[in-house]
Structure formats: C-alpha cells, structure tokens
Structure 1
C-alpha cells in the first residue's frame, strides 16, 4: 500500500492509538478509547486492570446503537473544533467512583457499568439529539444539551428534566461557544457540583455575532449553512455563568455568577473546587465554590475568580497582566488535596512562566519552559515542560507540594526511556501514572502504566513500579526510518530539522531541490523529537527533496520573548526566520539547491507558504498553500486580536500581516487548496487572494474541495492531495530549473 493511501486510510496513523485515559480513584483501573485495529474508525471504550494488565471492551459501537453514524449538527461542530476525525465513541465521562460511564452514539445517550460489565444500554428517557453529556459524580444522572436546552436525565429511571431553556433564538445553554472551543481549548459548557446537587452552566447568546454563509457550489440544491462567526473587530458571543439547582421539579431558577463582563468578556475556564474543579480537585472540608477565569478583550488581563454557589458573590483570587497578552495555560486552575490553588503565571514579564501552588513559586527548575499542568493527584502535581535549550523535547515533572521536592519522570525502557529526549505526556490519579511517549526510536505512541508513583525519599527521583504497557494497534508507516538532522539555525538559533531522502548518498555531491514544510505560527511546533512528526516529510523527501522544517519566532517551546516577537506583525518575523533557516541549512549541509526552493503548509503554514512566494520570490520558487489565512480581517477575534489588536485600532498591523499586500516580482507558481465547508478559515480567504492575483495578471491554480472542512480527512481526498502536491512541485521546480 502506498504511503499516501495508508496515511489517509489510518487518519494519519491515529486510528488504534489508545487515548483519553481516565483512572479510578484508587489507581487500580483505567478507561480509554481505542479502535480494534489500525483501520477501525469505530472507536471502542476499553477497561484495563492495572494489576493484572487485563483489558476488555466495555462498549463497542458496532454492537451498540443503530448502525451508521448520524451526528447532530452540534456534535459535528464540536468535533470540528476538537479536530476529531475518528468515529464511534469519541468521548465519554465517568462518575467519581469510576463505576459507570456515559457516552453518545448518533445523538443517543448510553451508559455502561464499569464494575460488573455487561452490555451498554440506551437511556430511553433522554431527548435526542443528545450533545456532550456529563455523568453526575454519583453516577445516577447525566446532564446534556438538546436543542439548546440543558437537560438532566436519570440513568436508572426517573425521567428527563429540562433545567434551562433558551430564552431567545440565538441562546444556548451548556455548550462552549465557537471562540472558547476554537481558541481557548474550553470545550465544555456545563460542570457538575461535587455533591451532584447542582450544575454550573454557561448561557451563550450569539446575537451579537455576525452571520456568515457557507455553501457548497457542488450541490446547488442544498441549503447554505449559516454560522455565527466572530471575525476580528466584530461582536463576540455574550457568555454568562449560572448555578442551577436540582432541587424541585422542572426548570431551575438561575443563580447568576456575575462579574465585570464588560471588562472581562471571555470565559476561559470554569468548574468547582471540592472534587469537580476545572482541572483538579480539592478535598478540603469547606463548601465547594465555583471557580473560573475570565479574560479581557485585548487579552492583556486574565483574572482567576471564585464565587459562592449559593449567593453568587464573586471575589478575585489572582490577576495576571501583560503588555502584549496573557496566555491561557492548559490545566489550570487546579487544586491540591488541601485546597491550595495550582496556577501557572507570575513570571511572564520576566520572560518565563512559573508554577505556583498556594501563591508560592514551585518551579520549574533550571530554566525549563513550562507548558501545562497535566494532573493533580492529592498533594502531587504532574506538570509538562521542555528542558532549557531543548524546545523539541517535552518531559514530565512530579512536584510533591508537602516537601517541595520535584523530580523528572523518567520513562521506563518499555516506553522508550533508554533513548533520551522524546515527547512525553501523562495522566496521574490514585498514584497510577499512564505515560505516553513519542520519540525518534520508533513510529507511533508507546504507553506504559506506572503504579505507586511519588517523589522518592532522596527528593530527586520518582519512585514507581511498572505495571505493563497498553498496546497501540495503529499501523506503522511503510517508510524507512527518517533521516533527520536537528540543529539551531542562524544567529537567532531557530529550531530546525532537515529530512533527506533515504536513498541519498551525501558523498555524491548531488544538490537536492528544497521543500520547506513549516507551520511557523503560534501554539504549534513542527521540530519535535518524535519520529511520527516526520513521516510525511520523509515521504516527500523520498520523492526527491531535501525537506527543511523550521520553528521561527512565534512558535512555542523556546520562551515567552520568542512567542511575543510576532506581536503586531504575523508576517515579517515568521518569514524572515524561514529564510534565515534556509540559508543556514544551505551553508551547513552543502546539498541544498537554492535555485530550486519550494514551500508547503496548511492553515497558518498555508498563509506562510503563500506569503513566501509573494513577498520573497527571489528565495522561494513555488508554493502550495492549504487553507491559508490570507486576510486577517476574516479570522476570529480571540486569535487575531491577541497578536494584531482590532482592525479599528491597529489597521497598520493588518496591512503588514496580509498576504494581499506587499508582493514582489517575479510571479512564482502557487497552488491554493481550500475546503469549501471550512468554517474556521473560510473559503473567502482563498477567494480573495485568487481574485487579487487574477486582477494583477498573476497565474496561479486553485483546488476547491467540495464538502471538506479545515482538515481534509476524507480518505480519497487526503490521499490524492499528497500526490497532486508532489506533481505540482516537481513540475514547478523543474520549469524553474530549465529557465535558469
């Protein structure tokens, strides 16, 4: 099977990878999602015993439900925001005792007993379509959204109850709005109180948001989709929080959690202390409180707040400010067993971030780049960071808040611990750590279970016992081991990687055409110590290219100052760093033909690819731009305004960052690829650039993809896109060589 077909059929080799782990309070069992093989997109829910290693399928979508998947529109939108390409059971929730799970299939609610086993059963009283259900901590009920209304249904009878109904045509309860899910990584809009007596829920009013229309020209008889899209400088959704009690019958009277929403309109995180926190739990004896973070429209202020669930009274716990922007950090706020707040912040103006526990600085040590809080287990905090000077490596550290000791979690041999480096993630509960590792030793993900996890008596190592591994059923790319050279390029020491053809002989002195393959923008890295990250690059290399990848200014991993370098200009710094990395690679390796340089990318990378041939045609001779953001006026508020401000306040920043401005001669071959159903980077971006190129008499090609959203996951489309790109690049660079 060819690599393009294999990659398309396996959804980029993600099918069959164990994921979405949840661990029982005692650490003895865990649940996770995984297909039955590397091409089985019908994801199953599995249970594993930590002691014996025995695994069983708790729920298989092929034996549960009504057959072919039929998703509600709200669920399709939720999966698009999550970039979820799988099918079957793609998410689930468990109760506090880890005795029961709830999930949906085709908009219907199902529950399964995790203790006794047995077949899952449909909750007949639930009103379809059921969207984003959450099981109660006690396991007897589930909250969900249907038709914009917030419901609670008994899982053992007792009927269905509407807690809150929309009070307007544009109002929904219990779901994350577009901006929260797309840009803030907040995918939920409802949270159970720890004792199951109430729900905290978001009320979202989309009335202030402009309506855009997305149609499919290939199906003129189909109705156009109207979507609320908050473009830069326009209105955002109005989001409120309310506590809804389960006392009584029928709809609940909202107890509003009111804060200065005019100054802090963005709801970034929400949850409870006392067991149902936003990212952890507090087992103190005090009454549970609502906890949430809210951010200003200009994103220079982020405030952590607590509220009394009974009165709604709000108090501020911590305020972060920054003259550029305050990053919303993953995994916080969280809470230790003693009720102390775990937070990331404090050091941003000093060009670093710090881990704070109860307001005290607790790490990271030795200049590490702090990435997230992965979990809080009692008085232990598991956090993710990159060692100083190694942005492509991601490790885990364990902090014991009682002693202040911190130790790095070393992956055992079964997880590739002997190779060093790599990208490691994990979940920790009940002293059991599920550790997942990607490294340069193998393709895919390796998962190991460690029990009895804690900082050792010496205070410098992590004590743990290995309890076996969780197999990945994902296919391995039919490719040789990538030939990747890592280094820091140029004066700015740009993280860079060069991938050469597996058949290339360096002693031949044959110069190879160059294909730059960046993302290049905020919140994403391409130069990482994981073989899987280079499978597509290796395939392109074996088609005859030296593939160069560079993470310039604006990308994460290096430092806060590095990220802030794109403030006010998303074009010049990122493009300068691609050019600098290219010239450094040419001088360093000697096998790159700078007379034949192409660039490809998707989303921000597509923007960067188009920008490269339009502004620096003396360097770049051809480009493939997939789903490019060409005009930042058309992209969303939270992302765009973080870097550029509003177009009303800073129009010059939008001109500087536009692919529609600042072109140079000569014109170079440019292929634009875009899904017509894309509701994130809408097709208008490509249409506007194409119209401008046509008006200027510049030849280019446009490949519109009917029915395709932001990521082309449909099998035939995904396969042929790779083949068409290679053909275009060979043709374009070959023509350029003959002209030279």
Structure 2
C-alpha cells in the first residue's frame, strides 16, 4: 500500500488523557518562512515540485577509493528530469556525467510498459535518469532512457549509448565493469561494455545492426520472464530487482517468474472507450501467486537450477551475493509466520538452512539483510525479547531502546544501520562494532545533532553520505563524512540541493496522546491565538502497517499545515501497527486491523481534546490507500465521533488486495473468512457495523490504479447506495495510485478543502 512517506523532532513527554496536560517536545522553534513574493499557492507549488523532492540530490554511490560520489539531481525545483552527477572529492567540484535532454536530443521519453510498471511499484514519478547501477569501483554507471541503454564513465564524465536489443529494463554492470546485464522483452541479456560484437544465434546477435548483446536466459512460456521482480516482490517485499551478478563477474543469479497461475484482471479507462484495456496479472488474497525460482547462469553457457522447498517457501524476499560468502536467500512461507535463511551451493544448486525465524503473527523482511560480514558471519535483524535487534552471527549488537529498521552497510569491523529510539519520530543512523574496538559492545549515533532528525546514509569505503532532515529547517541536508575507527567523524563536503523552499512553514507540535502514548503531530493555523476559540478538527493519518507519519522532518508536515491554515486543527496520529516503537506495537493489529486502527485514532483525538482547541462537534478525517480505508471506517463505524470523511483510493473489499500484504495481517481468506468480513468496509459484517446518522463521504480513486484497483471504490459506492447512505464519488481518469500529475495533485487538495468546509458548515 502506498503511504505519504514522511521524514519528521525532539524528545517528547506523555500526553495525559482527557483534561490532562500536553507537554510539548523540546527543541528550537522552526523559522518562519512566510509567503514569498511571486510564489504560487501552496497546492500549486506542492504539486509542481512533486512534494519538494525535485532538485534535491538522491541515489548515492561512493567509490571505495574515496575519490567520487555519484548521485542524481534535477536542475531545479520544478525540473522533473533527473541528471547523473559526480562529486569529485579530490578536485572539489561537481559535474554532470549524463544529461537526459542532451542524450535524447530534446525528445520526450518513451517508456516501455515494464519500466512504467517498475516506476509505479517504486512510487517513482520523476523523469530522466531515475535510477542507475555501478560496478564495484564506481567507475562505470549504467541506466536507461526511453528503453535505450547508456553507460557513463564516471571519472571522465562521458556517456555513450550501447546498441543492444531493447527495450532495456534494469541494466546492471558486472562488478569488474566489463559487461552489463539487462532485461529486454522478458529475456536476460548481457553486453560487453567495449562493444565487441558477438555471435547470438537465434536472436540475430551481431548480425542484426552490429549488436554486441546476447541472451543468457530465454522465456520458455508466454507468461515467463527472467530477471524481473514480480508484482508482490516489488509492491510488498521491497525487492525491486530480479538478477544478481557473481562477485567474480562470471555468472548471474537470475529469477525466473512464471505468471501463468496468476489471475488476470483488466484495467480500462472509461473516458477513452476506444482504447483497449490493460491486462494485468494480479495475485489477489486467497488466489495463486506467480511461481518464482532461481537459476545460476554462467557466461560460459552453463546453467544450474537453485533448489529449495518452493512449495513450503514460495516467497523469495531477499538475495545477497558478495565475496564474503556464498549466495544468501531469504524465503518465506505463504502464511509469513516462518522464514528461512538459505545458502546456495553454486556448483550443485543445493541450498542449506543457516537460520530460521518464526512468529505467531508474522515475520518481517528488512532492508539490507541478510548479508555477510567480511569474515563470513550472518548479519540479520530479528525480534527478540520485546525489541528489534541487529545480530551478527548469534550475537545481538543492539538492544532496547533501539528499534532497528534497516542495515545500511557492513564494514570490516562495524555495521551501519538505521534505528529509532525512545522517540519513534527520531530516526537516526547508528554504527555498531562486531570486532576490534567494538568488542566491548554498544553502539553510537552518526551525525547526531542537538535536535531530532530523520536520517539515512550510504557508505562506500571510508566515506559516508549522510542525509538529515529535521523540524528546524525545510528539506534535507546532505554531507559527505569520513567515519573514523574510533567513532569520530569529519565532514568533507556538502551536496547542494536545488529544491524549492516551501511557501509556508510547518509548525507541528509532537506529543504522545493518552494512556496508549500514541505518537501525534498537532498543527494549528498560522496566527492562531488562544482566545480564537475551538477549531474544526481534521485527522490526517495513514494509520496502517509500514506507514509512519509522525516524524522529525519539516517537509513531512507541510500538507497537514496547509490544511490547518485553512481553518482546521489537524491531528496526525500513528496508532498500533505503525512502525518504530516495538514489535508488539506493530504486530498487535494481526487479525484486528480495522478495530485497532480506528480505535487508536479515536483514542488520540479524545486524549488531545482537553489540551488543544478542538471542536468535537466538527471532526473530519482524510486519507489515501490505507488512510482512505481508515477514513471510510471512521465515517461508517464511528459517526458519533466523525462528521465527514475524504476516502482516497481505499481498500474496501479485502479479498481484492494482494496476497502478501493482506494475508500477512488477516490470514488466508478461505481459512479465516470471518476475519475478512469483520475488517471489510462492504461485507454484511462491515456495513452492519455502520450506524446512523449518515456522514458526508467523498470517495476519490484513480481509474488507472493497478495496485488498489478502482473496483474497491465502485463496490463501496454500490454498497452505500444499496444501504441508502449518501456519498460523493470523484473518479480520476488516467490516474494511478500515485496521483502524481501536477494538475490532479493540486486540485485534489483544493477539492478536499471545499468538501470538508461544506460538510462541517465552515464559512470562508
């Protein structure tokens, strides 16, 4: 499910229940930016800057010799076209290595369907060079434009096209930089970087226009692809790739995906009846998944199938292959209560279990693991003793209060990772040692400032690119730092941003609400005075698994602040199920998703009512995806609390959402039908929970959405109509789950405010 990704403060105190005091977070007050002369309205600015992400640097790769940092950045805060840049640390200068406008001679991009699908899964809405891969020395980068393959020599800053069979998807150089593997029309292909023509019988090869590429794996069925991540791997597991080079650059470990068993759906645009519908393979809850296997493909033509119990463990969640050990696989059972870490014998294809995780609720795949330390020990993240810990071998390197989120890099002596502590909103970068100076145990924070942040890092060799956002300033600060063996750090350079400054300043007050200590951000209108009286309330949550909104980053709260400035007291609450506090906090929603998600929003609202100017007779809620589902629940099941709802792209018929997500939290629908009925918005059990009086509801959905298909909203509307419940429906022609089009994004904000003000009886 998509959610508004937040990057957002300082230490907090517990908020008492109704009538209690609400201590604010400590820390400096953010500067007032105000409305700049000549600036467009915030909705227009927010839309055209793609949430102020355009012009900001991202996607870093650092050379192990400490000489270079490659990264992406567009030329301005409204420029969608990402360029490939290089920061030369020895010369102290930045230069562009690849400019899409020049490489395409000013022509518009023409994306192949598989690339469009990849971008939708990764929520990528910009253009140009949206991703790249490098060799191990970060000398060579490969990327695509309009399905064509380009490589950049990063030292020289030169770029050239490799003439290959296309359209090209996901090109990746070999570690030695001599070849590039990529996918085209479901085939896994490889091409030498020097362009030497090779023979490729059956595919034309060098004879077809002098191409130098050749096929490593050919689909053996009409629904088979090689080297691509299947839908649920990219949408739900965070695995966006489907092949991995060997450390020696002589073989590729590739996923074979057969979608023949998957149910077919058709997505059409009723606004264009002359266009054929798009046929998609969608593994809805309770139905069959794609069949995923692995094969080791030698460049010398050898093939070795990798063998594990795919019947018991059908989900391939992670693959890791480094010089420190054999390939590592993380595979999951379909019920996701059991996952195994497997090593691969590259000679025979046999696998061996080296670790197993089990949990009564579910097991979690985490970014960056499993992996090997340089001396061959297993690195993993696991829930143990009420905490989410980092392990090297059988030894935990961390413990409470740290809640580990991802492994960022593994060095010779230490592990770089991200984690939150006592304050869920403060997400930092940490390092823990597993040998040498770290044998005494413990961990330390990297780049710690006197205020809370949301931080991330990429490391290569002795250098680390550290990105930090905070409440004290808009945007993100990016520094290149050197981490010393004794824990010290030195800033070597900064990477500038071209992102626009927001035309308003977010002023969230972060608190913990009620006995459950629910993390909340409360935002009041600019200029609000204590004597102005109570304000209509707008809850603005995501509220579901994997979606944290209350974070220590200024830009994460901009939209909520804009709604506040329209005359609302806005509350963003992260209830049970959202990440960052503890495994128990996240997993308590198992089989009770609707009940706990909604109950925590009500609990937070009522706990805050005694300390903030909230008009409890005028309370609305808005949300998208899971947040839209939550908004629908609020209007139908708690009209005694909520008086209007904007329901955006909601999951309403839970059997229509995908296997990996829905079955994780609710089980298999054939085995637990009552659980699905109780959590649904449109079943008899779901609607029977809806009580009078009717509340205004605006349902919004993109007709081209292939993640939460529009059937969800249509079925909700039909159920509401049959039940005699008034509502409004806003269909968005040609819009996907991202709703990224500039005019759509701008007008959606304006239309929501208009609906909410009408519904709550507010006067402009």
Shift of 1:367: 1.8
Which structure has more relative contact order (CA 8 Å, sep 6+)? It is: 2
Q: Distance in 1 between matches of 2:583 and 2:484?
A: 30
Paired residue for 2:643?
621
Paired residue for 2:733?
706
User: Does 1:116 find its partner at 2:149?
Assistant: no
Paired residue for 2:20?
none
Q: Distance in 2 between matches of 1:379 and 1:243?
A: 31
Shift of 1:346: 5.2
Instruction: Report 1:614-693 matches (<5 A).
Output: 614-660=636-682, 661=686, 662-693=689-720
User: Does 1:268 find its partner at 2:306?
Assistant: no
Q: Is the 8 A contact 2:320 2:370 kept in 1?
A: no
1:444 match: secondary structure: strand
Paired residue for 2:444?
408
Q: Distance in 1 between matches of 2:89 and 2:337?
A: 44
Paired residue for 1:343?
380
Shift of 1:160: 0.9
User: Does 1:734 find its partner at 2:761?
Assistant: yes
Q: Distance in 1 between matches of 2:387 and 2:672?
A: 27
Paired residue for 1:429?
460
Paired residue for 1:445?
476
1:58 match: secondary structure: strand
**Which of the numbers 237, 245, 251 marks the counterpart of 1:198?**
251
CA deviations over 1:696-728 (Å, ceiling 9, x no partner): 111111100011000111011111000000000
CA deviations over 1:377-396 (Å, ceiling 9, x no partner): 222210111112x0111011
Using the TM superposition, name which of 152-161 and 315-324 deviates more. 152-161
Q: Is the 8 A contact 1:400 1:455 kept in 2?
A: no
Instruction: Report 1:457-606 matches (<5 A).
Output: 462-479=487-504, 481-506=505-530, 508-589=531-612, 591-606=613-628
Q: Distance in 1 between matches of 2:308 and 2:406?
A: 26
Q: Is the 8 A contact 1:397 1:406 kept in 2?
A: no
Instruction: Report 1:296-307 matches (<5 A).
Output: 296-307=333-344
Paired residue for 1:132?
170
Paired residue for 2:304?
255
- Cα-Cα RMSD: 1.4
CA deviations over 1:19-49 (Å, ceiling 9, x no partner): 1101101222110000011011110001012
Shift of 1:213: 0.5
2:244 match: secondary structure: strand
Q: Distance in 2 between matches of 1:561 and 1:313?
A: 36
Q: Distance in 1 between matches of 2:289 and 2:447?
A: 44
Q: Distance in 2 between matches of 1:548 and 1:52?
A: 48
Instruction: Report 1:163-312 matches (<5 A).
Output: 163-247=216-300, 252-274=301-323, 282=324, 288-312=325-349
Q: Distance in 2 between matches of 1:336 and 1:560?
A: 25
Shift of 1:400: 2.1
Q: Is the 8 A contact 1:406 1:455 kept in 2?
A: no
CA deviations over 1:342-386 (Å, ceiling 9, x no partner): 111151xx322221112211114x421111111112222101111
Paired residue for 1:15?
54
Q: Distance in 1 between matches of 2:153 and 2:271?
A: 46
Q: Is the 8 A contact 1:137 1:195 kept in 2?
A: yes
Q: 1:337 to 1:684 in 2, by over 3 A?
A: same
Q: Is the 8 A contact 2:631 2:647 kept in 1?
A: yes
Matched length: 701
Which 5+ residue runs of structure 2 have no aligned equivalent?
Answer: 1-39, 197-211
1:74 match: secondary structure: helix
Shift of 1:83: 0.2
2:341 match: secondary structure: strand
2:611 match: secondary structure: helix
CA deviations over 1:456-503 (Å, ceiling 9, x no partner): 2xxxxx212111211111111100x32221111111111111000012
User: Does 1:2 find its partner at 2:41?
Assistant: yes
Shift of 1:504: 0.6
CA deviations over 1:418-462 (Å, ceiling 9, x no partner): 4x11111111121111100110001111101102x1342xxxxx2
1:196 match: secondary structure: coil
Q: Is the 8 A contact 1:214 1:226 kept in 2?
A: yes
2:415 match: secondary structure: strand
Which 5+ residue runs of structure 1 have no aligned equivalent?
Answer: 275-281, 283-287, 457-461
Q: Distance in 2 between matches of 1:332 and 1:407?
A: 19
Q: Is the 8 A contact 2:398 2:443 kept in 1?
A: no
Q: Distance in 2 between matches of 1:254 and 1:202?
A: 13
**Which of the numbers 406, 428, 434 marks the counterpart of 1:395?**
428
Q: Is the 8 A contact 1:303 1:316 kept in 2?
A: yes
